Amino acid sequence: MGSFSVWHWLIVLLIVMLIFGTKKLRNMGADLGGAVRGFKDGMREGGEKPAEAGPAAQVTGKVVEGEVRSKTESKA
């Protein structure tokens, strides 16, 4: 009872096809494929941008000091 056999998965697939229909499943698959493709393209573009940015994107090493005050603190 730990794992399902091939017959169990075929019955589940048949029930899903009866509920949703093949056209809707095909559209959902195409949408999912497009989303994965877009994600991969975005990851590929994200990896290239820092290399193309050049020296302007480097950290300058400046430290900014300041004091944090709460909004409820009175200025007396």
Q: Is residue 70 part of a domain?
A: no
Whether 66 is in a domain gets the answer no
Give the count of beta carbons closer than 10 Å to the beta carbon of residue 71.
4
| 66 band by pLDDT with thresholds 50, 70 and 90 | confident
Host domain of residue 37: 21-48
* 14 belongs to a structural domain: no
Does 58 map to a domain?
no
User: Does residue 64 belong to any structural domain of this protein?
Assistant: no
The number of residues making up the chain comes to 76
Q: What is the pLDDT of residues 38-64, one digit of tens each?
A: 999 988 877 654 544 455 556 667 777
13 or 72: which leads in pLDDT:
13
> Could you tell me the pTM of the whole model?
0.41
pLDDT of 22 over the 90 cut: no
In a domain, 39, yes or no: yes
Q: How many domains does the chain have?
A: 1
